[in-house]
Structure 1
Amino acid sequence: MKTNVIQLLLLVLFTQVGMAQNDALQWLDLELSNYQYPYPVKTLDLKIQEQDLKMGYMDIKPEHFNGKNIVLMHGKNFNGAYWETTIAALTKAGFRVIVPDQIGFGKSSKPDHFHYTFQQLAQNTKALLDALHIEKTAVLGHSMGGMLATRFALMYPETTEKLILENPIGLEDWKLKVPYKPVEWWYENELKKNYEGIKKYQLVSYYDNKWKPEYDEWVNLLAGWTLNSEYKTIAWNAALTYDMIFTQPVVYEFKNIKAPTLLIIGTRDRTALGKPLVSESVRKTMGLYNELGKRTQKEIPNAQLIEIENVGHLPHIESFNEFINPLITFLKA
């Protein structure tokens, strides 16, 4: 009885905090023009799929440039801004850091209609590198960015000097376990999102129910969009990228990666697409990063594995030093 009362009080407190936070949320426009990134943002004009689109990106070149470049690819629920501390550490170590917001994300265009493929996003990123006259670079991808970084490395092996995958999704093929849902289903789910739901998902899925104030920003960015009268555009793009993730696995091509690869895996992570659509018994077999990291290391030729215990989906946010030290060591090797 006492436990139930405590749980009820915690739920009420969480709801009240959520409501207060929701009232203080900043309205955000579709391309985050009223949100400041940690470094200056430039744009690349792209003519793709019969549309004129803009790709936002940060390009940070240190004073003591060591001649090496690295591209940072963000996850689905994020944008380039969450790489702030990673950028600072890498530039301090001498690396030039390029951080694009993919089309449909962050400060980049949100098209009304777009055929999302990892190949298209990789091609957009290569166009950015060509515009910057960068011929070779390391590529780091987190979460969905890990799937994109893998596709980029497969498409452009001559450009990819090294590949780093930080808790990438797509280490398993969810189509084998999860029933397919059309884009409209994902769209309806996106339309239902609000501050409380977004925070609850990140609290449980990313941080093992242990919240820190510095995590608020990544909830507020997503929730701020829901206040926009054009949120349907954001929701539609999000639905299209869910379909891309679900239908375009990279797991079967890991064996073809040529670049030296580093896997940085928070072993507490249990992220997997479609968990609510399967039974509890099947759900328990999905997103087991403590197993997936080891399996993936065996599949990728010349791969190293760094496992970070008791850390979830975002090592570079949750446990920065354990993330950045092996990363810089690998890049300098």
Structure 2
Amino acid sequence: MPLFRAFCIAGLITATAAPVFAATYGPELQGFDYPYPLKHFEFQSQGESLQMGYMDVPANGKPNGRSVVLMHGKNFCGATWESSIKALSDAGYRVIAPDQIGFCSSSKPDHYQYSFQQLALNTHQLLEKLGVQKATLVGHSTGGMLATRYALMYPGQTEQLALVNPIGLEDWKALGVPSLSVDQWYARELNVSAEGIRKYQLNTYYVGRWKPEYERWVDMYAGLSNGPGHTRVAWNSALIYDMIFTQPVYYEFKDLKMPTLLLIGTSDNTAIGKDVAPPAVKAKLGNYAVLGKQAAKLIPHATLVEFPGLGHAPQMEEPARFHAALLQGLNAL
């Protein structure tokens, strides 16, 4: 199982009465309805012909001339930014929400050397194709690590950076979390279930508070993982977990040059490999009430906005509150 199984700690998971979905989707999420028209960017990378799915949503309000690129997390998709896309578009932004290679509506190659640098390059090529010369990056969870790498690689094209409960605010390997092999990650990925996803999301994303609208995202992730591309999806996911664990951006926060907004749900406890860590190490991991403050000190031009009591996905848990803070932070540039 992916992150959901990796972090289900005995005693923290409580059952819900929600139904278990039986829907399945194609290996590029065929059959799932995106909230805005889905387009595809075709390109060559590492000897493969690949395509990235993306949404390019124009300003619905009075255009302000700015573009925002939304970078999703490991167990998310461009589609999970649905409410953020609307809020930003209504505020006058052009909004681009890609699915990274290996995720959702994008290619799942048989052989790919995953790196944050490669994913950043792919995204930069997409933006060049779309004529976007400068953009604000909003990265959530693993997307926060990717947005950081992009900003380090392309500082001249990065107007502003916003990190939403990014993982990678600590180096798990350096803290004593045992490394899992790609084969071990793959074995876990093959066991994804809607029930496991729902239980994990309940306790990490939403801090024990479930809403009916969250079921759509359980359905999306479980349907992709258990569809006809089951093994290919699992293999790419395993490679991505290895990338996340072995390629920290933590040590380079000090090199970020642009204004950076940190949006942190303080009750988040996400940490890669937490379930296999020794008890003394596990107890110290994923404390976002502390990690957010530490990151704000490391990043030169950082502004910290905390959401007390919210979990890993404040933009989904309390969207109105989150988007008010996001738009205020972006307008402060």
Q: Deviations over 1:275-314 (max 9, x none)?
A: 1111222211000000000000000011000000000000
- What are structure 1's unaligned runs of at least 5 residues? 1-9
Q: Which residue of 2 aligns with 1:205?
A: 204
Could you list the per-position Cα deviations for residues 124-179 of structure 1 after superposition, in whole angstroms to 9, with x for gaps in the alignment? 00001100111111000000000000000000000000000000000000002211
The 1:52/1:261 distance shift into structure 2, 3 A limit, reads same
TM-score of the pair, normalised by structure 1 = 0.93
Kindly indicate whether residue 71 of structure 2 is the aligned counterpart of residue 66 of structure 1.
Answer: no
Residue 213 of structure 2 corresponds to which residue in structure 1?
A: 214
Alignment partners' CA distance in 2, 1:226 and 1:292: 31
CA deviation after TM superposition for structure 1 residue 202, in Å: 1.3
Q: Which amino acid in the other structure matches residue 246 of structure 1?
A: F
**How many residues were matched structurally?**
318
The equivalent of 1:150 in structure 2 is: 148
Q: Which has the higher helix share?
A: 1
Q: Which residue of 2 aligns with 1:4?
A: none
Q: What does residue 56 of structure 1 align with?
A: 53
* Cα distance in 2 for residues equivalent to 1:126 and 1:172: 26
2:280 aligned residue = 281
Counterpart amino acid of 1:121?
L
Is residue 197–residue 222 contact of structure 2 (8 Å, CA) maintained in 1?
A: yes
User: Which range is displaced more, 203-212 or 155-164?
Assistant: 203-212
CA distance in 2, matches of 1:279, 1:207: 26
* Structure 1 residue 39 corresponds to structure 2 residue 44: no
Aligned pairs for 1:66-105 within 5 A: 66-105=64-103
Does the residue aligned with 2:306 lie in a helix, a strand or coil? Answer: strand
Equivalent position of 1:321 in the other structure: 320
TM-score scaled by length of structure 2: 0.93
Which residue identity does 1:145 align to in structure 2? Answer: G
2:134 to 136, 140, 149: 136
Contact 2:177 2:281 in 1 (8 A): no
Amino acid at match of 1:330: G
State how far apart, in whole Å, the 1-side matches of 2:112 and 2:95 are.
28
Q: Partner of 1:7 in structure 2? A: none
TM-superposition CA deviations, 1:168-227 (whole Å, max 9, x none)? 000000002211111000000011121111111112222222211111111111111243
Name the larger-Rg structure: 1
State the distance in 1 between where 2:206 and 2:252 align.
30
- Aligned pairs (5 A) from 1:227-266: 227-266=226-265
TM alignment of 1:263-274, pairs within 5 A: 263-274=262-273
Once residues 330 and 104 of structure 1 are traced to their aligned partners in structure 2, the CA distance between those partners, rounded to angstroms, is 31
Q: Deviations over 1:206-260 (max 9, x none)?
A: 2222211111111111111243233000000110000000000000000000110
Residue identity in the other structure for 1:39: Y
| Segment of structure 1 superposing worse, 321-330 or 264-273 | 321-330
Structure 1 position 174 matched with structure 2 position 207? no
Separation of aligned partners in 2, 1:88 and 1:179: 41
Q: Which runs of 5+ in 2 are unaligned?
A: 1-12
Q: Which amino acid aligns with 2:112?
A: F
2:106 aligned to 108, 119, 123, which one?
108
Contact 2:25 2:228 in 1 (8 A): no
Q: CA deviation at 1:324?
A: 0.8
Deviation (angstroms), 1:36: 1.0
Q: Judge conservation of contact 2:265–2:306 (CA < 8 Å) in 1.
A: yes
Give secondary structure in 2 for the equivalent of 1:47. Answer: strand
- Percent of matched pairs sharing the same residue: 52
Q: Which structure is richer in relative contact order (CA contacts within 8 A, separation 6 or more)?
A: 2
Q: Which amino acid aligns with 2:108?
A: K
Superposed counterparts of 1:5-20, under 5 Å: 14=16, 17=17
Task: Say if 2:54 and 2:96, in contact at 8 Å, map to a contact too.
Answer: yes
Residue 8 of structure 2 corresponds to which residue in structure 1?
none
Counterpart of 2:306 in structure 1 is 307
Residue 30 (structure 1) aligned to one of 27, 37, 41: 27
* Distance in 2 separating the partners of 1:229 and 1:58: 24
